[in-house]
Every structure is written in structure tokens, then in C-alpha cells.
Structure 1
Amino acid sequence: MPADVNKVSDILMVSESCFVLDDFEVLPQTPFEDLASRFLNKDDYDLGKLLGAGGFGSVYLASYKNKITAVKTLHKVTKNPKAQMESYKAELNVYNWKHPNIVRTVAATSIEQYDTGAWIVMEYIGSRNLQMLINDTEEELDQLRRLKYSLEVASALEFTHGNHIVHLDLKPANILLTERDSCKLGDFGCCQRVEEDTGRVSPTNRSALTGTFAYRAPELLRGGAPTLVADVYSFGVTLWQLLSRETPYANQNQHVVIFSVVSKNLRPPHPDVGDDPFEQLYQELYTQCWSAKPETRPTSSELVELLKMWKYYM
């Protein structure tokens, strides 16, 4: 990395002459109402072992015509049926998206079938996520590997934002790892659609789903409308976690943390990186991402451009 390139803004200027961004097809949005005419025959799927479970449903390994898939089955009885329905509709926002760094949703039960037990069918990636890798002390997370993961997640965000969707639950536990050690962003159960003209979620379409507090931007903790750069804040915390291999605000009172993040600009503590120029730039990047002012955070497209330039110099 050139010694005189020491700011994110400087790097972005340098990168303009270095790269042509890869273009991914931005598919037309498929509203959940359009799925009412589709029919998913549950008898075509053989459910296998349980892969995971949450408040709204369980995910199973499954086979469909000799192909391995993952099937999320929503609970028929839940303490919060409204939130469960919102989460179901949110996941259908990404129906049939095609991107190398996003878990693909390939089928779902129709709205008419919802009350009989809704299913969402996804490609099967594996059972390992980025949080598991961070927790595994035998796994090395050197600069090149962190850069690779960062670029892949940023590319997923760029595509998501290009489709006018904000994820709102970006964190290592929702980033799956393939057998080839690539990242795929999943769990869009909290995502919301932003207006094309304002870049924020309309007040009439806002969801009660909140995501994980440690990764939520301060404007969301204050009750503000979600915007695309709310995901960039979460991305910054994720980059910090890749470097520190710690859990943000571990064992701290949630309410105290939320108050401090909003009113005192609390953030996770920086690891000591010494005089390493790459690590100093890396810290500056995630610090800009988790800025208290949304307008000063980079966009997902700027992140992709920047990280590609870093990859070029590495």
C-alpha cells in the first residue's frame, strides 16, 4: 500500500483509475403477492436433520429430486404471529435473487398456504457461518482472508441495496461459509424495502422487526427510519469483529449499551495493530462505517470499489 495513501477518501480517488466493477444482474423485485399463484408441493421434499431453530421457525436439511436444499418451516403457533408474518414476507423480498454472495431463495409456499405451515426453500450452503470461524481459535484470519470476506459481504450488500432492500440484520452469524471458503449473506427475515427517491423505509411500511442490538445503527436505536447505510454500520461492526475476534459489548447490559451508543458514541474498543499500514487503514474504514452520522458513512458501492483496490495492492 503506498505510504501517501492513508485515508479512505484518498484510496477511493486512486481506485477510480484501477478498476471496472463487476456487474451483477439486478433482477426485478418479486412482490410476495405474486407468489400466491405459485404452488410448492411439500410432498416433493424429504426433510432431514435439524440445522437450526429460532423464534419463528426451524431450518432442516432436505432433498428435492435428489438435490440437497435447506427448508425453513415456520411455526404454526408463535407468541408473535404478526412479527412472524412480517419476517415471512421479508424473506420473500429476495425470492430468486442470483448473486454469488447471497443465499438464494428458490421456492416458498403461497400466501394462501401460510396458515397451514409456511415453508421457504433455500440453497444449502452448509452449517458453518462466519461467527463460528471467528470463535475457532485454530482458524487463521490473516489480512488476505479478512479482505476476501469483507469484499464478498460488501458485494452482497451492494446488490441488496441496488434492489432497494436494506438487510437490517447483518452480522457474522448470518454470513454462511461455503466449502470453498466464500461468504454468502443470508437470513433476510428483517429486511425492508426503501423508497427509490428517499433511500429510506416509508413510515407506512416500517416493520417492528429489529435485528441484533449490538449491530444496529444509533439512528435505528433512536427509532429512526432505516436507510441503506444502516447496513454499513453493521458492516463496520462485523469488520471490527473479524480483526478483534471478540463479541461486541460481551456481557454488558443491553440497555446501558444502547444508551451509550446513542448518547455517548460508544463503540467496541480498537485492537492494537501497531504500525501496520494495512491494519491502520482497516481500522479507519470500519470507524467510518460505524460513524454516528449516516451521511458520513461510505455507501456499499464505495466499499466494493475500495476493497477491490486494496485487493489489487495486496
Structure 2
Amino acid sequence: MGGWDILTSLAKYRSVLGILFGFLKDMGSLGNGHVIAKEIFERLNQDLTVAFDQLALILRDGERYKAFLAHRGASAQQLLDIVQELLDLFPGSAIRPLLYKALLRLSRASELHPACFPLYSLQRVGKQVAAGGFGDIWKGLVRGHNVSVKIMRAFRDSDIKAILKEFGREALIWRQLSHPNLLPFYGLFYVEERLCLISPWMENGHILEFLKNAPPDTNRVSLILDVALGLEYLHGEHVVHGDLKGMNVLVTPSGRACITDFGLSSIADAMTLRFTHSTATKQGGTARYQAPEVLLGEANHFGSDVYAFACLCYEILTGKVPFWEFSNDIAVSIKVIAGQRPSWPETTPNDALWVLVQDCWAQSFDERPAITQSFKDFWVLRLRRKLFQPQ
């Protein structure tokens, strides 16, 4: 072990821990075993901090980063596992985006995923219930619990490899996120050699289905605030959603809105990985919710998410898609690029909310507010009476 370099030490770290725990188990019969266990626990905590710091140094060094990305097979799997473990152990670190990106790039290059992802004993139930850009949604059961199963759609053989990479990328991003207003990620599964992403089943469906059957006095503004909090968390984690709309917001049994479908998400920095198999998927999203600069060919970014959030506010409050009166998406795109926006309905009299929506779908992205703590404060101050009025 003394001859290992730092990357080899990181790759083999978990196997060394296995040997150490074997020794510790053998010491269990000793009278002072608990003292030894406590000391080893403290040393392991120190070790993990050092390992985290060493990994950060590697990822900031161009040559060593290349060496990290060059690993394949068993050593790549070991590195993926330790990076994922360190991400889980240090949730508040400022360098998490750096580790995110490294995990994505090594997974993509090695065509492997962290070993903690796979699930077993999945059973599909009933028929397909929805379809997305790359996958079809089914209801399933895992150990008696209802789950949502997003199954990679069957493509031509030449497309399978690219689609697998995008599905794996979605899983990697989703796995790192944890917030009450984001749909949790359970793991991966293979059905008929097709990759699946597993998440909780939401009986209420997406937010528009929920509102169709909800009582008239349902607090829609509270649901919008749920989305704002979820989006604030995403942006705080340096993640762009890229396809925010009503169909990608589900409602929990307790009536809380949570964001889902990160198939078009990206780690937001200059090195962001792009979709490689078509112009349409690189741009991503749904035309009626896309900011003018995205319609003109720019990639999704934090500001375009804020624009889509404004369109979602309109949709939640009116029950209609933006520009519902126009059936042609191209016509809608032309109007948005020209600066037109949906008109505020008289049936939703809330001037403060209308001002906020106008700010969020401003023509220029640098005029839109960020989904940050200051934006949340702005939101609560303007809508306090609405948010806390008796139901």
C-alpha cells in the first residue's frame, strides 16, 4: 500500500476499509474492543476528510484530472463509488459541483454507475401511463411499494448507446438531490435490457390533473411557492432543470408540489455536458415555456428556468397552457421572441403576483430575478396575506 499513488489509494479505499473492519470484528471479543472501535471511528472520520480534500486537489489539477478520467473497468467503478460516498458524506461542501461534474464525466467515459444505484425485484403494474422525451412511464411495485418506472424507450440500435448515456446522466444528477419539493430518486433497474429510473408513485398525478379535481378554494399560490422552493434548491446545487412545466410538477399525498423529470438538467458551468445526438435535445424543453433566448438557440440556464417558472405560475393559476388560444407552437415562439406574453386573466385578481410573473418572464434574462433567498423574501413579503389567509 505504501507504493500506491493518491488515485490508487482513493480507488482502493473501500477495500482497505473492508480489511480494517475484518480486523475490528476479530477484536470484538477483547475486553477493550469498544475503546479500539471508538478510536478507529475517529480516525476514519479524519481519513474521509483528508480523502475529500485530496480528491478536490486532484480535480483542480489538469493533468491529474485527466488521469482520473482515464480510469476504466474495476478502478473506474471504485472511483465512482468513493466519489458518490464522499458526495453523500459532505452535503454542504462548496466544491460539490466540482465532484458532480467529475462523477458525470467519469461515468460517461467508463459507461459505469456508482454501485449504490441498482434496485431489484421490480414488477410492472398495468399499462403505460405517460410518455416523455426518452422514456415511457409505468406504474410498478418494489417490495410492495408503488413506484413510478421511467423506462428507456426502444430506439434504433445506433441510438441506444447515446440514450443510455443520457438516462445514466439523469440518474447521476437526480441521485445527488434531496429536498421536500423534489421527487426522490430510488434507483436503477433493467427491464428487457432497457434502463429504468425508479421514483415514488404519486397518486395525485401532475399538478394540472390534481387541480382539475381539487376544491375551488385550493391554495394555488402555496403550490407555486412549493415549486419556487424546489427550484431555489436546484439552482443552489448548480443544476438547471431545463423543462419546467405543469406536467413535470407532481403533487404528494399531503398536497405538496414537487418537481420531477431532470432529463434535460445540466450542471451549470462552462464545462456543462451537452446532449450529443440532436439539436432539438441539446436545446431541450417545451416551446411554450421556453425563454426567447432559448428559442433563438441558446442553451437552458438559470434565467430560462425562471422564465419557465413564470409560465408555470400562469398555468397553475388559470389551468391553461401559456398562449392556450394558439394551437401552433411556431406561432407562439414568434410571439415570445417578439416580446409578447400571455395576458393576465381577470379571474385571477392578484396584482402582486402579476408583477412577480412579469419580472420573471422579462425579455432579457439579466432583468429576471434569481430564485435565491432574496427572491424568496420578495415573494413572501408581497404575498403574505394571500399565503396565510384561512382556507
TM-score range, shorter chain: 0.7 to 0.9
Partner of 2:381: 309
Structure 2: distance between partners of 1:133 and 1:239: 15
Tell whether 2:303 aligns with 1:226.
Answer: no
Distance 1:133 1:280, change over 3 A: same
Cα 1:280–1:168, aligned 2, differ >3 Å: closer, same or farther? Answer: same
- Between 1:250-259 and 1:35-44, the stretch displaced more is 35-44
For residues 47-106 of structure 1, what are the alpha-carbon distances to aligned partners after superposition, in whole Å with 9 as ceiling and x for unaligned?
A: 212332335222222222233322212123359544564354234312152210100112
After superposition, the Cα gap between the structure-2 partners of 1:115 and 1:71, relative to the gap in structure 1 and judged at 3 Å, is: closer
SS in 2 for 1:211: coil
- Cα drift, residue 240 of structure 1: 1.5
Question: Which residue matches 2:327?
Answer: 252
Corresponding residue of 1:58: 136
- The 3 A distance-change label for structure 1 pair 259 and 54 is same
Query: What's the counterpart of residue 176 of structure 1?
Result: 250
Q: Secondary structure at the match of 2:355?
A: helix
In 1, are the aligned partners of 2:118 and 2:187 still within 8 Å (CA)? no
2:184 aligned partner, one-letter code: R
Q: Which has the larger radius of gyration?
A: 2
The answer on whether the counterparts of 2:242 and 2:304 sit within 8 Å (CA) in structure 1 is: yes
CA distance in 1, matches of 2:353, 2:117: 45
Q: Which moved more, 1:86-95 or 1:280-289?
A: 86-95
Q: Residue in 2 aligned with 1:20?
A: none
The 1-side partners of 2:205 and 2:116 are apart by: 31
- Aligned identity (percent) is 22
| Count, aligned residues | 274
Structure 2 alignment gaps of length 5 or more: 1-90
Amino acid across the alignment from 1:211:
G
Q: Normalization by structure 2: what TM-score?
A: 0.63
> Unaligned 5+ residue runs, structure 1?
1-24, 196-200
Find out whether 1:93 has 2:168 as its counterpart: no
Deviation at 1:123, TM superposition (A): 2.0
Structure 2 distance, partners of 1:129, 1:272, is 25
Q: How does 1:8-23 map to 2 (within 5 A)?
A: none
Alignment-derived partner of residue 216 in structure 2: 140
Deviations 1:223-250 (A, max 9, x none): 1232211111001011112223222123
Paired position in structure 2 for 1:22: none
In 1: Cα distance, 2:130 partner to 2:203 partner: 12
Spell out, residue by residue over 1:99-136, the C-alpha distance to the aligned partner (whole angstroms, 9 max, x if none).
10100112125xxx7993111111222251112234x2
Give, as a single letter, the amino acid of the residue that structure 2 aligns with 1:238: L
Matched, 1:122 2:196: no
Q: Does 1:265 align with 2:319?
A: no
How far apart, CA to CA, are the structure 1 residues paired with 2:119 and 2:347? 52
Counterpart-to-counterpart distance in 2, 1:94 and 1:162: 14
The answer as to whether partners of 1:157 and 1:300 remain within 8 angstroms in 2 is yes
CA shift for structure 1 position 258: 1.0
Question: Given the alignment, which residue of 238, 243, 250 partners 1:164?
Answer: 238
Counterpart amino acid of 2:315?
Answer: Q
Q: CA deviation at 1:172?
A: 0.9
Instruction: Identify which of 83, 100, 103 aligns with 2:183.
Output: 103
Q: Show the counterpart of 2:357.
A: 286
Structure 2 SS opposite 1:108: strand
Q: Does residue 243 in structure 1 map to residue 324 in structure 2?
A: no
- For 1:69 and 1:254, the matched residues in 2 are separated by 33
Secondary structure of the corresponding residue to residue 267 of structure 1: coil
Aligned equivalent of 1:71, options 118, 140, 149 = 149
> Which letter maps to 1:293?
S
Contact 1:40 1:107 in 2 (8 A): yes
**TM superposition outliers: structure 1 runs of 4+ over 6 Å:** none
Retained in 2: the 8 A contact 1:87–1:190?
no
Cα separation, partners in 2 of 1:124 and 1:96, compared to 1, 3 Å? farther
Q: 1:216 aligns with which of 266, 287, 290?
A: 290
Find the aligned partners of 2:314 and 2:225 in 1 and give their Cα distance.
14
The change in CA–CA distance for 1:53 and 1:139 in structure 2 (over 3 A counts) is same
For the 8 Å contact 2:152–2:167, the answer to whether it is kept is no
TM-score (structure 1 length as normaliser): 0.77
Matched, 1:300 2:371: yes
Aligned-partner SS, 2:150:
strand
**Alpha-carbon distance in 2 for matches of 1:303, 1:156:** 13
Instruction: Give the direction of change, closer, same or farther, for the CA distance of 1:91–1:188 in structure 2 (3 Å limit).
Output: farther
Counterpart of 1:205 in structure 2 is 273
RMSD of aligned C-alpha atoms?
2.9
Structure-1 separation of matches of 2:120 and 2:254: 32
| Matched residue SS, 2:255 | coil
